[in-house]
Chain A
């Protein structure tokens, strides 16, 4: 589904990604973990075409998308929930969802899609006509996820969705990710919440200083306290 080859990225003159190789197969839930500043966000932004200077190759769904603009990548089925959530202020919850639906290719009716969202996220259903930015952090995160989902992406990339969210909601959210994966959405999940993430993931990559330093099945990693200690403890 997704294959990243020797991806390098720069911010100005600082060389951030040193050559990332990473693969997510269809139907997998893959986790990308690592300390603050390891380059996880930069990797995802690179995959989405949002970094200004990159080298290497990004293959998605059998196509080389390295040169494609961000909106085209979304159109091919690449969904992305950014770390900052980016709920559009001044727009209602409904309008934020509509925005996610505008470019969707599946042609589902707006009412049906919103009903689907309401089922998955009852909290959002109660707040459809509220200015989205006035919602709590957890609700905004739900909305960001829902907004990425309405276009039914083939691969959903989530950047630290559990950041700053109360534990009950985090559990709920991770259950949702597992369910989505079981229903066929491929997922690339960036997380600091290592144990929870590994609990639902199939495989994981560990990043440090702009490089992939370790990869293994989630089960093995979960059992390997030494590795976790070395790369993930804050």
Chain B
């Protein structure tokens, strides 16, 4: 997660101190929340997809996110431009996800929720360690691409162009994912398989192949989120650990397994964090968990979760 990092935030804070809380300032901070929410949404979508379909609680999701950032660094290092990174980094991470599913996680389906959870937990430590060995233990900077530097006028004030871009990418991905799930035969199988994999098999469809694809999509989305976050906060081997907890919150608040829930909760958590940062920065982190506690007390299955999914 990024907090007050780039100069624009400092700039916003200064207006805040000088002019007090203007509506424009709140609106701008709302946009900051949206950009943060966009990253959460991408992560939570993948998590929810994996949980809803495969009943896999993917503890390595944060590590795949981190790999996305490092895949970007590696690609930029060999001269690939940022726009192609946007395509290739998620593909690389998604392919690693495919391998993890095919050779490790697949063996554990049907053995309850704890086996894949422990496996992905271990996997995440291995991935972080490999990155430390290859890229060093210190964080690395990640340049914002030239075309996206600076700020753009969004009527209510200036807002960092790159954050607008992050929001736009998330929207495009959402629409594409929605079309894929709702309008393609593959999407139909995924929707049906999430509810009842056995009937899908009975109707002649090889569910294992579908699960592989789902795992690739879920981890690819995590990779994309990591790449998008890198220009905002740099890349570090640990960047996945903290965001993992936050995306769990988003997934749980939205309802495990619900994609609509992931989107709404992602945006909500992003905005809550941004707003708390404005009024009481020291509580931003706590606010996330407070939100989760409140939602779970009122609605234990989250916004859109089906009751009893875990039982």
* 10 interchain residue pairs of minimum CB distance: A103-B204, A74-B204, A86-B199, A70-B201, A88-B192, A71-B206, A71-B201, A75-B204, A71-B204, A103-B205
Check B179 for interface membership: any CB of A closer than 8 A: no
What 0/1 pattern do residues 185 to 208 of B give for CB contact below 8 A with A?
A: 100110110011011111111110
Q: Are A91 and B191 in contact (CB under 8 A)?
A: yes
Residues of chain A at interface, number, CB under 8 A = 24
In the complex, number of A-B residue pairs with CB atoms less than 8 Å apart: 65
Chain B contact-residue range equals 10 to 19
Check A220 for interface membership: any CB of B closer than 8 A: no
CA distance A117 to B200 in the complex (A): 20
Check A98 for interface membership: any CB of B closer than 8 A: yes
Q: Tell me the minimal C-beta distance from A2 to chain B in angstroms.
A: 16
B206 touches which of A50, A69, A91, A151 (Cβ 8 Å) = A69
Q: Are A48 and B195 in contact (CB under 8 A)?
A: no
Given contacts A102-B205, A103-B205, contact A90 B199 (CB under 8 A): no
> Could you name 14 residue pairs across A and B whose Cβ atoms are closer than 8 Å?
A71-B201, A71-B204, A71-B206, A82-B202, A86-B198, A95-B191, A95-B192, A98-B185, A99-B192, A99-B199, A99-B200, A102-B189, A102-B204, A104-B204
Q: Which of B265-284 contact A (CB under 8 A)?
A: none
Residues on the A chain within 8 Å of B200, using CB: 99
Q: Tell me the minimal C-beta distance from A52 to chain B in angstroms.
A: 9
> Which of A's residues lie within 8 Å of B, judged by CB?
48, 50, 69-71, 74-75, 80, 82, 86, 88-91, 95, 98-100, 102-104, 147-148, 151
Given contacts A50-B198, A86-B196, A90-B195, contact A74 B203 (CB under 8 A): yes
Closest B-chain residue to A90, C-beta based? B195
Known: A99-B199, A102-B189. 19 other contacts (CB 8 A): A50-B198, A69-B206, A70-B202, A71-B203, A74-B204, A80-B202, A82-B202, A86-B202, A88-B196, A88-B199, A90-B195, A91-B195, A95-B188, A98-B185, A99-B200, A100-B203, A102-B203, A102-B205, A103-B203
CA distance A64 to B304 in the complex (A): 45
CA distance A148 to B199 in the complex (A): 10
Residues on the B chain within 8 Å of A104, using CB: 204
Residues on the A chain within 8 Å of B189, using CB: 99, 102
Residues on the A chain within 8 Å of B185, using CB: 98, 102
Residues on the B chain within 8 Å of A151, using CB: 203-204
